Structure formats: structure tokens, C-alpha cells
Amino acid sequence: MLYKELVEVYEKLTSTSSKLEKRDILSDFFLVVPDDVLPFVTGLLAGYVFPKWTEKELGIGPKLLLKVISKITGIAEEKIEEYVYSSGDFGEGIEKAIEQKKQQTFFDIKIDIIYLMDLFEKVSAYGGKGSQDKKIKYLSELFSAASPVEARYLSRTILEQMRTGAAEGIILDAISKFSEIPRKEVEKAYLLTNDLGLIALYSKKGADELSKLTVTVGRPLKPMLAQIAGSIESALKDIEEPEMEVKYDGARIQVHKSGAKIKIFSRRLENITEALPEVLSELEITLIPETIICEGEVVAYKDGKIAPFQYVLRRLRRKYQISEISEKIPLKLFLFDCLLIENKSLIDSPLKERRNILISSIKESEIVKMAENKISKDPSEIKEFYNKSIAEGHEGIMIKDYLSQYQPGARGKKWLKVKRTLETLDLVIIGAEWGEGRRKKWLSSLLLGIRDDEGKFLPIGKVATGLSDDLFTEITEQLTPLILEEKGKTVTLVPKIVVEVLYDEIQHSPKYESGFALRFPRVLRVRDDKDAYDSDTISRAYEIYESQEKTF
């Protein structure tokens, strides 16, 4: 199969905004994709080369790509950058550069999907530094063979900026349609494996084969999440057999052990094993079973006290910025759930059983412990547990239904959270302005975007004050590589960095495209554990807006 055929599908997908039409385009295409490349092609349609939980990544940024395109077209990097800025899209900028070159040459090499798959494998094998030359060699070969439109999509794929609108949900719809397997079954298999390519392939084999896919060590599951409880009393009305746990303020991790091999995944399903060496070595002693998947919260300690959440995130980021982290930040892990034991899935077992299995599966230590819990139905006892948790510096408590099953990825009513802070919104930084005077080196005025149903990020507010110097430095470092366009002091950014924002009130406002504005927004922290697509949505803002109406 040729890459050209995939590009035709991308083009068809962009030409319609109808979800049903997109589904049908994909479904027809899935039927003709050969099995040996089906998983790979499915990933490309969803906008990624490797599922993010694998250890593989291309590791190619905009700078390297510009270098390659400049090398093969003979056009200066600055000129290509101009094309990118004027079109507002990397892919289109590169397409324009390649177009100019093609007018002079008459290459007619066709890019085959298997060739592309092998090439990406090879590029990902050259992970570290000093490998740039090899990556440039492979990419030059690829882009020399690409037609302008192919170059547009290849660069979007490589930079993970695909905008065809083939969101996860539509791909699942299409898989269900072409395989004639009910959507629910397709979705269930996906929730258990987090691999669209695998789901496409197994669905082609039939419903029986698909139903064999289950929780597997090495493939992270989307974490089960909690809703906010209005109050302890209302939570007790919703939950029949409540179990309370301390809500630790750190980062959620999922630990997968098979024999001597242990992997740690983040809430975003990234493999972060290398970032947590001391937790890893402690887990080697703590986890008794041969195979187990368990979950917990990693918390940072400084001078014996719980340190702000930001410290944990700095540790998790170490995978990418190892040298910059010099200080030693001791961590502890509090485990609270168990999803598989000795290769048997536990997600359909009640929490009570999962927790008991977990207790008998670990040897607690100073670093790895069970999350503290309490069983009670008495509001005053629960309040006492909550007060103690807050006094110890934690975020609040979780009230969980002891009889509930584990629902991957669901934010249902089986887990409720009671937090000390006001409700915050996780928003995406979509633009910024360079500061003045002392703030000159910082992107200081930040434009916040909120996600709509189609995955677009619409402005909801600006924030310029209330950030510490450290936070400005950190945010600027993270935003600079994401600059898409720069006009005077104003920059447009790839929507990627999620920040937790506190505000006094949400107001209706025609000023911003989202229809809402935040009163006195303050950035609390960067949410490195969240993708732009995990950020809060306009419907969430609407819910909060509605609940304010009632309380004010």
C-alpha cells in the first residue's frame, strides 16, 4: 500500500466536518488496508506513530525538521520558517518549500507504507544525542521522495500535529462499522488495551477474537477518575458502602510487573520508569506476586514534610531534562488499587477485594505503603478523617464505593473527591506575550484556551499576574519550542501545555470565543501529567457556571 492512499484519506477527512462522513470514510478505508500494516496505519490516522506508552519515540522537533527540509530543497531555514508562520501551520509551510523544489526536479519515487513503517522504526532506534546525523539522513531520504502534499502530512505526523479530526471516538465508530461488531464491545476492548491499531486488527478477525483482548501487563489502562462531591453528606447518599482514603497531592502512577521487569506509567500512559529509579528499586522488593498491575500516588517530601505537587512533576519530567534536575527530591508511593494479579484481571472485582489482594501482595516499607483509609458511614468520623488528612498537608479525601468495579477512564460516581481548594479549571495555553522590563525574558501574559466538543481550544481568559518567578521561567521554557507564529510581542502557540487555573468566578462574556471569561484567573501550576486533550471542556465550565448561579 502506498502512503499516497493514506494522504487521500486525510484529504477526504479534512474536507468534511460531519462525524458520520468521517466515520464512513475511515470504515471504507479500513477494509482495504492490508493486515500487516493495519495497526501502523490506524496509528497514523489517529495522529501518532507509536502508542505513547511504548518506549519508542521519533524524537524529532521542528528545528531538526527545518534543517532537513532546508538541506534537500536548498531553501534557507529562515525562509521556510516564514512559510510556516504565514500559513500558521508547520505542514503547510513545509509543503510550500517542497513544492518549490519539485518544480525543478522530476523525481517519481513512491512512498510505500511498509517502507515508512521501517523508516520510523529505524529513526526511533536512534534515541539519544549524537544520533541527529542518522535521523537527518533518513528524513532527507523520506522527504526527497515525498510529493508536496505528502510532505505536509508527514511533517504533521512527525511533529504530532495532525489535525484531520480523526479523533479516537470516530476511529472506534469506524472500526465498529467495518467489522460489524457493536461499538460497546469495540470500546471495551480499547479501554483494556489502549491500542487503536490492535483493536482494528482484532476487529477484522471477528468479535470472538476481539473479546479475547484483556488487561495485560505492559499495556497501561486509562485511570479511573473521581467526580467532585458536593459535601460529605451528599457523597454518603450516593455511595452505599463507603471507603475513605487520603487524597494525596502528587502524581498518579500505574505499576506493571512481570517477573523481574517492572514498568511505571503516568496518568497520561507514558512510560516514566526511568524517571523514578528509587521507586523502581523499592518496588522490586515490595511487590511479591510474579505478575501484578497496581496503582498509587507518588508524593514528594522536602525536609520531612509533604512538598508541593510541582516537585513530583519536576521529577517525572526528568526523562527529558535529566541534567537540569540537581536537587534530590525524596519520593514516597501510596498504593490504592490493584488491577491484575498473576495474570488475572481484577477490574470486574469489587474494590474491597482488589484492596485486600493488594494488601497481601506487598511488603510495605518506608517508601512504598498502602494509602491510608477508613471505613465508616458516620459523617462526623468522616469529617474527622478529612480534617486529619488536610492537617497533614494532603489534598483532601476520596470517598469510594467499596463494592464498585474498576472503570478504566471513567469519571463516574463510584469515586468521589472532597478537596480543600475551590474548583479549578485545567486550561491550555494557546498564546502569550513577551513581557517588558524585568519580565522581558518571559512569556508573561498568557492566553488560556478551553476545549470544545470538536477538540478546538477557544480563548477563555488572560493571565499575567500571580505567578512566581520560578513558574514564569518554567512556563517560558516549556512554551518557547511551541511557538507557531510571532507578531511583535504576541506569539501563537501549539496548544499543548496544560495549567491549573484558579479564579473567582466564571462569567458569560462575548469578549472571548468560548463565550465565557474568568474573573481574576491565577495559574497554580503546570499540569505536566495532563495532555491538552485531558484538559477541561466548555461543558465543564458551563457546569461550574451553573453551580455558581445557585450558590451566589
Residue numbers of the site for ligand AMP (CB under 6 A)?
223, 225-226, 245-248, 252, 267, 297, 336, 371, 398, 417
Write down the least CB distance from residue 490 to ligand AMP, Å: 32
Write down the least CB distance from residue 423 to ligand AMP, Å: 10
Q: Which three cell numbers stand for residue 505?
A: 468566578
Burial of 513 (0-12, 13-18, 19+ CB in 10 A): middle
Q: Are the C-beta atoms of residues 88 and 154 closer than 8 Å to each other?
A: no
Write down the least CB distance from residue 296 to ligand AMP, Å: 8
Of 15 and 234, nearer to ligand AMP (C-beta) is 234
Write down the least CB distance from residue 397 to ligand AMP, Å: 8
Note the residue count of the chain. 552
Write down the least CB distance from residue 354 to ligand AMP, Å: 12
- Which residue among the candidates 52, 96, 204, 247 is catalytic per the annotation? 247
Write down the least CB distance from residue 18 to ligand AMP, Å: 33
Of 110 and 411, nearer to ligand AMP (C-beta) is 411
Q: Are the C-beta atoms of residues 166 and 13 closer than 8 Å to each other?
A: yes
d(CA 283, CA 299): 15
CA distances from 205 to 37, 178, 198 (A): 15, 11, 11
Write down the least CB distance from residue 293 to ligand AMP, Å: 15
Of 84 and 398, nearer to ligand AMP (C-beta) is 398
Q: Are the C-beta atoms of residues 58 and 26 closer than 8 Å to each other?
A: no
Other beta carbons less than 10 A from residue 8's beta carbon: 14
Q: Are the C-beta atoms of residues 83 and 97 closer than 8 Å to each other?
A: yes
Contacts of 378 (CB under 8 A, 6+ apart): none
Nearest to 65 by CA among 82, 53, 80: 80
End-to-end CA distance of the chain: 61
Write down the least CB distance from residue 332 to ligand AMP, Å: 12
Question: Nearest residue to ligand AMP, using CB?
Answer: 252
Of 95 and 245, nearer to ligand AMP (C-beta) is 245
Name the phi and psi angles at 290, rounded to 5: -65, -45
Query: Which one-letter amino acid corresponds to residue 224?
Result: M
d(CA 181, CA 423): 40
Burial of 215 (0-12, 13-18, 19+ CB in 10 A): buried
For this structure, is 247 an active site residue? yes
Of 202 and 402, nearer to ligand AMP (C-beta) is 402
Other beta carbons less than 10 A from residue 188's beta carbon: 17
Write down the least CB distance from residue 366 to ligand AMP, Å: 19
Of 151 and 498, nearer to ligand AMP (C-beta) is 498
d(CA 198, CA 343): 19
Contacts 24+ apart (CB under 8 A), 58-63: 58/120, 58/123, 58/124, 58/158, 59/123, 59/124, 59/126, 59/127, 59/135, 60/123, 60/135, 60/139, 60/158, 60/159, 61/159, 61/481, 62/90, 62/159, 62/481
Of 369 and 489, nearer to ligand AMP (C-beta) is 369
Question: ∠20-21-22 over CA atoms, to 5°?
Answer: 90
- Catalytic center residues: 247
